Structure 1
Amino acid sequence: MARRRPPRSVTADDLLTTLGRLTAQARESAELQRARVELAEALQRDTLPTALPALPGLRTAARYAPARNGLDIGGDWYDGFVMPDGSLGFSIGDVQGHDVEAAAFMGQIRIGLRAVATASTDPGEVLSRANDLLVSVGRELFATCTFVRFDPITWVLESARAGHVPAIWATADGRCGAAQDPGGLPLGIQPGEGYPVIRRRLTQEGAFVLVTDGVVEGPTVPIDAGLDRVTRLVRSGARSGACADELAAQVMTAAAYTDHTDDAAVLVLRHDVAAPERAA
């Protein structure tokens, strides 16, 4: 019967060699993760607009914040641009996932919405065509989105949403609420999806605020509670006369109460009372 060789004792050199190998692996993994984060941050920064359009009587502002842990750069976005007929188009949305792929997909959606809006100014049609475009690409990601059109002649705000969280509105006289409008499926899931359009005439001074779910929902915060908090903030800002930039900053503070595990975006449309000639 063969004798079993006694186990070799581990020396200090062995331990140092193993520790060095593990340290090198950890450093390589950390450097790779840091490179991915930096790439995602660059994509996020370069695909968000540097400025938003505004008109006399309508001021706009936005805020974006990455996930609190600083690693989960995601696909939240906001955008605003002048449409071919002179109206203003605004979008906000959230791509599934929190990585470089989500950030890149976000940029594609934002550009796609702008491209589609050159052929149609109807928010429901814009979302429907963008949805079909994304489905045809065959990506496994999807995105929620709200698209808004502001008509500077009629002072009407048209909106459609694709699985996105409700907008919040408030007027200077204290009225407020969450716009629980009907909508369709998120973009990129099912071809041929329709998106109802809701029209609102802005007859009172106030604010219309769009957010992503990172502002209103978290591990211990249900979305209804988050929407209530943002509604109170928007109502207070509208009554006090806060400017669009101040109101965007105030609304973003709500993200801290959701435990901020997701990235977050806020888009504020601060409007005056429609001038008589516009109302006519």
Structure 2
Amino acid sequence: MTTTSDTWILTGPVDAARARALLARLTADAGVPARDRARFLAVLTAMLRPCREGRRQRLAVTADENLHLALDGAEPWRHTLACPSPLPRPLPRPDDLAEADLAEALLGAGEDTTVVLAGLDEAEELVRFHREELHQTNQGVLALHAELEAAALAQRELLDAERAARAEAENARRLLTFLADASASLNASLDHEDILRRLPKLLVPEYARHVDVWLVDDERTPPAERPAAAVTAARTGRPQHAAPRPGGLPGVDDLPASVLSPDRPLLCLPLGARSVQGVLTLSAPGERFAPDTAVMLLELARRAGIALDNARQYEQHRDVAEALQRAQLTELPDTPGLALAARYLPATHGLNIGGDWYDAFPGPDGSVLAVIGDVTGHGLRAAVIMGQLRTALRAYAVEGNGPARILTLLHRMLRHQQPELYATCAIARFTPGEPGVVWAAAGHPPALVRGPRGEVRVLDAKPGIMLGVPVPHEYEEHHEELPPGATLALYTDGLVERRSAGIDAGIERLADALGTLGAAELEQLDAAADALLKPMLRDSEHDDDICLLLCRTAA
């Protein structure tokens, strides 16, 4: 590839014009696009301004596959123009141009300007088109942004609503769980004092700062010393809210602030199922009571009232039952040569109405009959049957019947009158002047005999069937020698039977306890009875009634 160079010395406007015209012709012949050519010539014309003003400039021109220009002066300029077609070799000089060439160059410059202006028109049209398109796109983007913002706002509102609903559901679940647990705790007790003690422990400090329970039949604190809202709740049976501002709680009446609590709201809730038994007064744990919490507290107060009502009814039934039970127990006779001691303990669970009983009374022949028995089941019916058996047994004994015959008659009576109830019974007859005891048993735990020296044996002769079993049966009598100072122990199964162990283990424990009694304790038979119960009732809880009857012959 051949490279040619030349340096043009430009001394004035004419030289500048000739140089510009020559470069216009060379770039046109080299196939430089009109737009690039016009841009190049415009820049060149501006750079030739010093020459046009009469100052001298030197322009170095080099041609290879491109056209390279270097203009020296106050502001040096370098430029390279790509030429699609080869440039002539050697390069012509500006002095070679005639005046006609200058005119032609001037007219040609107009054509290039026309091409550039046409391109500018197209560019402006294209810009206008793209501007409209961009405007429409911007409008679409703005609309999309608006839609996205609306969607984001809707999603945020949904999330907030979901979060609020979840919080409400969690709060409702927490309140219902507390209500269930608190109800179970209150209903687990049948002691109204225990229920009153449990209420503050359940509610303070989460649901109340302070809790007061006022029972209307409690005369220790007169109504005048109670908040006016509590008195109103007791009188009307409606919940009352006393605070400086209305609470707006569902189902609750609003009253002015209480004088006893002017700054903190009070919630006074009636206690009672069928009638108002008292008022539960709660001091708010914070500035106010939440509506959901108030609804839960209303229900808790209702359930607490039911628990208190049940406890009171239970206590009344228990008192009646114990009175009825103890009315069936007899005063032990004072018999020469025979000491008697008895203990009865009601069950620690339930209504304490059982069928266990003991009895001791003199017969028509001067003998003494010691009796112990147990009617199956609990409740008022068992106590009534026990009373009937006790009365019938005494009647059969007055007729002169022995222990076995008495049991046979009782068995027959119970079979016909109460076919679905059964009973166990043991009868021991002591006759003055005779050294032994005659006894018979109907399905009852075996009696124990302690000798004067402390040896203990079990009267393990096979007992007859339980009283009332739908089978005809004749009971047998047994005779046991009792030396002076011997002790016979009759008892019911509640003393020896436990869920964790069989009855045989309990009988062995009772025999051990009986054998360890000292002579001083046996001299005071009541003390001996207490001493026997202590090791047998290490666990104070027992599900069944307990009867113990000790009979000791004189030493």
**Fold conserved (TM > 0.5)?**
yes
- SS of structure 2 residue aligned to 1:97: strand
More off after superposition, 262-271 vs 203-212: 203-212
Alignment of 1:101-250 (within 5 A): 101-138=381-418, 140-190=420-470, 192-237=472-517, 242-243=522-523, 244-250=525-531
Quote the residue 1:268 is aligned against: 550
Quote the residue 1:93 is aligned against: 373
Alignment of 1:69-84 (within 5 A): 69=349, 71-84=351-364
Quote the residue 2:345 is aligned against: 65
Q: Counterparts of 1:240 and 1:182 in 2: how far apart (Å)?
A: 33
Indicate if the aligned counterparts of 2:363 and 2:369 stay in contact, CA closer than 8 A.
yes
- Aligned-pair distance for 1:177? 1.1
Of residues 41, 58, 71, the one that matches 2:322 is 41
Which structure 1 segments of 5+ residues have no match?
A: 1-5, 274-280
Q: Counterparts of 1:119 and 1:25 in 2: how far apart (Å)?
A: 53
Quote the residue 1:3 is aligned against: none
Indicate if the aligned counterparts of 2:363 and 2:400 stay in contact, CA closer than 8 A.
no
- SS of structure 1 residue aligned to 2:348: coil
Q: Counterparts of 1:13 and 1:240 in 2: how far apart (Å)?
A: 65
Which structure 2 segments of 5+ residues have no match?
A: 1-164, 173-290
Q: For residues 239-271 of structure 1, what are the alpha-carbon distances to aligned partners after superposition, in whole Å with 9 as ceiling and x for unaligned?
A: 566222222112222431475222111100011
Cα 1:237–1:121 change in 2 (3 A) is farther
More off after superposition, 36-45 vs 21-30: 21-30
Structure showing greater relative contact order (alpha-carbon pairs closer than 8 Å, 6 or more residues apart): 1
Of residues 299, 302, 305, the one that matches 1:18 is 299
- Aligned-pair distance for 1:33? 2.1
Quote the residue 2:212 is aligned against: none
Quote the residue 1:256 is aligned against: 537
- Aligned-pair distance for 1:70? 7.0
- Aligned-pair distance for 1:24? 2.8
Indicate if the aligned counterparts of 1:182 and 1:196 stay in contact, CA closer than 8 A.
no
Give percent identity, aligned residues only: 35
Indicate if the aligned counterparts of 2:448 and 2:511 stay in contact, CA closer than 8 A.
yes
Cα 1:13–1:246 change in 2 (3 A) is closer
Q: CA RMSD in A?
A: 2.5
- SS of structure 2 residue aligned to 1:96: strand
| TM-score, with structure 1 as normaliser | 0.86
Q: For residues 45-68 of structure 1, what are the alpha-carbon distances to aligned partners after superposition, in whole Å with 9 as ceiling and x for unaligned?
A: 11101x212432211110111123
Cα 1:257–1:57 change in 2 (3 A) is same
Bigger radius of gyration among the two: 2
Cα 1:86–1:204 change in 2 (3 A) is closer
Q: For residues 90-125 of structure 1, what are the alpha-carbon distances to aligned partners after superposition, in whole Å with 9 as ceiling and x for unaligned?
A: 110111122222222222211111111112331000
- SS of structure 2 residue aligned to 1:199: strand
More off after superposition, 38-47 vs 100-109: 100-109
Q: For residues 180-222 of structure 1, what are the alpha-carbon distances to aligned partners after superposition, in whole Å with 9 as ceiling and x for unaligned?
A: 1221111122353221111123234210110111111111132
By percentage of residues, which structure has more helix?
Answer: 2
Q: Counterparts of 1:129 and 1:238 in 2: how far apart (Å)?
A: 40
Of residues 20, 27, 35, the one that matches 2:308 is 27
- SS of structure 1 residue aligned to 2:444: coil
- SS of structure 2 residue aligned to 1:237: coil
